Structure 1
Amino acid sequence: MRGLKGKVVVVTGGGGGIGSATCLRFAEAGARVVVADISAEAAARVTAEIRAQGGEAVEMVVNLVDYDATQAALAKIEAGFGPVDVLVNNAGWDLFIPFVKSEPDYWSKIIDINLRTALNITKPVLLSMMARGVPGRIVSIGSDAGRGGSSGESVYSACKAGIIALMKTLAREHARNGITCNTVCPGVTETAMLEAFMEGAGDKEKLRTAFTRAVPLGRMGKPEDLPGAILFLASDDAAFITGQTLSVSGGLTMHG
């Protein structure tokens, strides 16, 4: 894909399953990767792996729920590593809890991690891109739960629907700046978060079998299934694509 070599790419939740796979693929494409994660250990592991393969990467250890800390961490990255060309909003977390059994503290945690983090880092990145007057790319990781709903994920689904709406709105507001904003929606993907989700649901193996049977392509997704779509939307090949939502779900969902 064109236009990724030498670009500074920030991937939030970069130490996790989809995040780490995405960081590694950007590095393979010649991008300079900022591995942003709340876990210093996870960020360091992915950064070291990229460097071992000859890529260029730095860590950004920050709690993205804290707006001031996010601004400070981003300013430090831009001063020492370079201004951000691509932002991938990937940070997220969820548990399987029916809505009527959930409580406001849980709602706040889900909203903070899945929506507020994207708000907190997207604003300063947008301001930087606008000030420099260069084309930028923002790709946010939504979920098909935000497109069609998902039992046991009411607040998470609401947040992911919010991510989709946020990207569509920012795509309209910043088209004149040459900044594109798009969303990639994973389906059921084998990550640590999914494992925790299935543990909370009860019979994990029964649920795994049900998920697998529901996917037309015959398997659950893997973290490595997502970076291709993410890199495409971040590349020059997608320069005329903005405000769009792409599901990567093995056919589990087929939205028009």
Structure 2
Amino acid sequence: MLKGKSAVITGSTSGIGAGVATALAEAGVNVMLNGFGNAAQIEDMRASLAGRTGVKVLHSGADMSKPEEIEALVMEAEREFGHLDILVNNAGLQFVSPVQDFPSAKWEQILAINLSSNFYTIKAALPGMQARNFGRIINIASAHGLVASPFKSAYVAAKHGVVGLTKTVALEVAETAITCNAICPGYVKTPLVEGQIKDQAKVHGMSEEALVQIAPRVGYGL
């Protein structure tokens, strides 16, 4: 069913995105990876995945905070694969701070990458999907798209926005063979989460080990 389809997965050089890209490639889907990181390691990942699965695997370093680079990413995928069938919006960024101390630049960056990038990828991908009357749009939101936790104002606001955007797009394409859904994961120990454990432990006045134990129950670290 998926063999021969093509996908873009943003933020897919590590964590959940890398897992999604691997699963799709193993199912026969051509994959456009996206994300920052060590260039040699990313190339090893790309080449290994392509060699192991036999599908076409490409990488784009498009910055998900820049609309023009997002549009170019989608256009490149359509040009290289001939069509874009699956869009997985996974790119994300986190920062932990009380609202009164939250840096304005961090707020803007998190909203751009965690929310606005979803809008721009969907905007760029929809015309082709509509022309072919087929598409699957999957937005990786978070449990924080449904509930809040302290010290994550930008992340929580962005993920609530992703859920709302998903609902709107789903309604707009409801009479076509295009779907738009959100997945709201709970606690997943990815590089994004590992990078904030120390900050969360400091904010809550507890050890990192204690934080990891209670995080799934109270929403810290998502």
TM-score by length of structure 1 reads 0.78
Q: Is the Cα–Cα contact under 8 Å of residues 60 and 77 in structure 1 kept in the other structure?
A: no
- 2:53 counterpart residue number: 54
For structure 1, the 5+ residue unaligned runs are 216-248, 250-256
Correspondent of 1:17 among 2, 15, 18: 15
Query: Contact 1:14–1:43 at 8 Å: present in 2 too?
Result: no
* Residue in structure 2 matched with residue 96 of structure 1 by the alignment: 96
Q: Match for 1:23: what amino acid?
A: A
1:187 Cα offset (Å):
0.5
Task: Say yes or no: does 1:205 pair with 2:209.
Answer: yes
Deviation at 1:74, TM superposition (A): 2.1
Does the Cα contact within 8 Å between 1:35 and 1:46 map onto a contact in 2?
no
What does residue 172 of structure 1 align with?
171
Distance in 1 of aligned mates of 2:197 and 2:108: 22
* 2:118 is the counterpart of 1:114: no
Q: Distance in 1 between matches of 2:68 and 2:123?
A: 12
Q: Which moved more, 1:49-58 or 1:77-86?
A: 49-58
Q: Which protein has greater RCO, CA pairs closer than 8 Å, 6+ apart?
A: 1
| Equivalent position amino acid for 1:207 in 2 | L
Shift of 1:136: 0.6
Count of aligned residue pairs for this structure pair: 214
The answer to whether the Cα contact below 8 Å between 1:64 and 1:120 also exists between their aligned partners in 2 is no
Q: Are residue 33 (structure 1) and residue 31 (structure 2) matched?
A: yes
What SS is found at the alignment partner of 1:59? strand
Once the two structures are overlaid, the 10-residue window that deviates more, 6-15 or 51-60, is 51-60
The structural deviation recorded for 1:40 is: 6.5
Kindly report structure 1 stretches of 4+ aligned residues shifted beyond 4 Å: none
Seq. identity, %: 32
Q: C-alpha separation between the residues in 1 aligned to 2:38 and 2:10?
A: 13
Counterpart contact for 2:28–2:53, Cα < 8 Å: no
Secondary structure of the corresponding residue to residue 136 of structure 2: strand
Distance 1:26 1:61, change over 3 A: same
Determine the C-alpha separation between the residues in 2 that align with 1:206 and 1:30: 42
